[in-house]
Structure 1
Amino acid sequence: MQRTPPKSPLASATNLLSATQFQSDPNLSTGGEHYVSLRNKRKRHEESQSNLDEFKEEMKDFFKSLMSAQQKQLEKNTVTLKEIQRSSSNIENSVAFLTAQNEELKKTITQLQEERKEDKKHIAMLEDKIENMQMDVRKTNLEIKNVPKKPNESKEDLVDMVLNLSRTVGSQIKKEDIKDVFRVRVKKEGIQNPPIIIETSSTLIKNDVLKLCKAFNVRQKTKLCAKHLGLKTHEDTPVFVTEQLTAKAARMFFLARDLVKSNSFKFCWTAYGKVYVRKNENSPIIQIKNETAIQDLRNNK
């Protein structure tokens, strides 16, 4: 069964408008250039709906494309982040390894420093032992410095010099009391009169000669010189009789004499291979063991 559709309100309104005409109104139903048809609102609505659908589709495509690009970028970022995490993990492991290694190095350095201190103490102890041994070897020795050297000098010439010196100062040294006598060989050029070393048979004889030589220089206006050793040439050349010192003690004696020259100390002497200084008659006697002691005395003067 079919029914006739009801008339559209829009069509009824159009018919009514067509039926009602005013005299002043132009006839718009006729053709010509002034003819204007009624707008089809349904068509415009459909076009708008179509444009909206197209816009929706475009936006969907846009968002799909945007989401796809973001997904790809996210995947790239994820890969990059994983690489960064791996690198960070490697760096942390490296830092941990270096830190552990640094701690080991610190421990090793501390241990080496402690060992170095102990080694220095041990070396100082060994040096003192060697010094004492050298002093013990030299404890009976005399040294005569600045003696002119004779041409073709022999050991007998040196023995005669020692005996002449003994007679001059009043000592009773005999040839039998001289175990050995020799002139030091020097490698440096320019030293014309190397010292003469006399090995006596006892420390008593050595100390007696030293005491008599000192008394002679104090008592006589003419100090000990070459003629007192029986030399016929360069007779006025001054000579100096001392006990034979080790290289270290000789260095300390040299520095100690500088203290006396600077008026910091009044007395400086050696005894049994050791060096001593004293400020005045009432001050304590100070033994010079090393250069540090010299420096301390200079700073505290």
Structure 2
Amino acid sequence: MTLNRTPPTSPKPQPKVSVDRADNTASTSVRFTPHESTLQQCASAPDLSSEPDTDCNAYKKRKFDGDSATASTGLTRAMFDTFSNKQKAQFDDLMLRINSIIEQNIDLKQSVEVMSAKYDEFLSRISYLEAEKKADNKLIQQMEDKIEHLQRNMKASEIEIRNVPKSEGETKDDLCDLVVNLSQTLNINISEANLRDIQRVKSKGNSNAIIVTFSSVIIKDRVIKGVKMFNKSKDKGNKLNTTHLKLKNNQPVYVSERLTLKTQKLNYLARTQHKNYGYNFCWTSYGVVYLRKKTGDPQIRINSAENFLKLKPANCA
């Protein structure tokens, strides 16, 4: 069956309008393009001459733009809410930490106040203990001086004879004979009646020292003075020795007054160091150590090691 269809009408050629503005007057001329009238038309060709519905496109564009703005606003609000919640959480955590620090500072302040009070108390106690220590040291020094004075008085009538060999089966009578022989050598009249006690004591070396206690200090002083004069009058090889005590072996004998333990230490220090400090003479008298630079100079009494050591800077400069 043959269908007779009417072909669609060809679109009318649209005139092209040109404007001539040379003389500022508008003139319209219409020209037709030859190929526009020869376009083939088909049944399925769209109507290209129809104008698009501008109102519909505008509506769709406005609708699309509105959806994008709404979505963007919602996303921004969600991001802001997330950021705000995060900041709030951080702020809450920061406030907790600040409060914890404040509490710690309060506890620390209280601890510092307690420690400061204890420190002040300790300072007070230390000051009290230092004052008490000074008082105790002063009292101890006074007691030591008193003991030293008592010991000197007890030993004031005693002499010490050193470097005398001990004989086998020695008795006190033998020791008394030694002291009598010594007095004869020194031209001093001493008998056993003048001796209150005599004994040997342990000392360094092979021979123990002989301690003689006289009945008076006067006799002791005579013996000490006699020994000094005897040694001064003799040459070095003939000073007081064991032959003067009627003993066989010829070895030097040393006689000195009995010293306390403290004075012995001072005497040893003085005898070993006095020349280094510029002092030529060192001796003891009545249990006290003395120093002297040269003949005619005043004597210096040494009561303690501190007194002796003070002489070093002044004389070794």
2:115 aligned to which of 98, 102, 127 = 98
2:304 aligned to which of 266, 285, 290 = 290
Give me the TM-score of the superposition, normalised by structure 2. 0.79
- 5+ residue gaps, structure 2, are 1-11, 16-31
Counterpart of 2:257?
A: 243
For the pair 1:202 / 2:246, whether they are aligned, the reply is no
- Alpha carbons 1:148, 1:237 under 8 Å: kept: no
Greater Rg, structure 1 or structure 2?
Answer: 2
CA–CA separation in structure 1 for the residues paired with 2:109 and 2:47: 88
- Alpha carbons 2:277, 2:311 under 8 Å: kept: no
For the pair 1:77 / 2:94, whether they are aligned, the reply is yes
- Alpha carbons 1:144, 1:239 under 8 Å: kept: yes
- Alpha carbons 1:145, 1:240 under 8 Å: kept: yes
1:120-151 per-position Cα deviation (integer Å, ceiling 9, x unaligned): 22222111111111101000101111111111
CA–CA separation in structure 1 for the residues paired with 2:292 and 2:187: 29
- Larger mean CA deviation between 281-290 and 114-123 belongs to 114-123
1:198-220 per-position Cα deviation (integer Å, ceiling 9, x unaligned): 00000111001111121111223
Counterpart of 1:276?
A: 290
Counterpart of 1:107?
A: 124
For the pair 1:215 / 2:229, whether they are aligned, the reply is yes
Q: Which amino acid aligns with 1:206?
A: K
Give me the TM-score of the superposition, normalised by structure 1. 0.83
Counterpart of 2:18?
A: none
Q: Which amino acid aligns with 1:38?
A: D
- 5+ residue gaps, structure 1, are 1-19
Q: Superposition RMSD on alpha carbons, in Å? A: 2.5
- Alpha carbons 2:277, 2:312 under 8 Å: kept: no
Counterpart of 2:103?
A: 86
Higher relative contact order (CA 8 A, sep 6+): 1
CA–CA separation in structure 1 for the residues paired with 2:82 and 2:262: 94
Matches within 5 A, 1:1-301: 22-23=14-15, 32=45, 35=48, 37-39=52-54, 40-186=57-203, 191-221=205-235, 222-231=238-247, 233-234=248-249, 236-262=250-276, 264-301=278-315
CA–CA separation in structure 2 for the residues paired with 1:78 and 1:262: 78
Displacement of 1:167 in angstroms is 1.1
CA–CA separation in structure 2 for the residues paired with 1:112 and 1:246: 32
CA–CA separation in structure 1 for the residues paired with 2:147 and 2:276: 32
Q: Which amino acid aligns with 1:32?
A: A
CA–CA separation in structure 2 for the residues paired with 1:179 and 1:76: 98
Work out the number of aligned pairs and report it: 275
SS in 1 for 2:122: helix
* Percentage of matched positions with identical amino acids: 31
Counterpart of 1:7?
A: none
Q: Which amino acid aligns with 1:223?
A: K
